[in-house]
Amino acid sequence: MTEPYAFILKAKTRAEKADAFELLFRAAVQSSRAEKGCIEYHMLRDKKDPSLFVFFEVWASEADFQEHLKKPHMVTFHEQRTEYLETDFDIQSIEMLSPASSSR
């Protein structure tokens, strides 16, 4: 069986672009969750620093995640990300030590 592909992504936006970034990505959460292989997809915003967003994603496989990146909304965002971000993404690969909440 393929090991799940999981990561935490931190997106530090420019302060003046934080709300626009939230609107842009909030609209993509539901469609991303409906994609083949998506186990968990969460968009979070730091309470102390509203320009910091954290994404927690778990995919059934890295191949499923790579397919996600090919979706039109992801291609468009990837091309436009520098308009919103102060620094490029900080991505941490993680190992799942407990079952995903969707398996409850």
- The answer for residues whose C-beta is within 8 angstroms of residue 68's C-beta and 6 or more apart is 32, 35, 37, 38, 59, 74
Convert the pLDDT of each residue in 4-17 to its tens digit: 999 999 999 999 99
| Domain with residues 5-96, CATH architecture | 2-Layer Sandwich (3.30)
Convert the pLDDT of each residue in 41-82 to its tens digit: 999 999 999 999 999 999 999 999 999 999 998 898 888 888
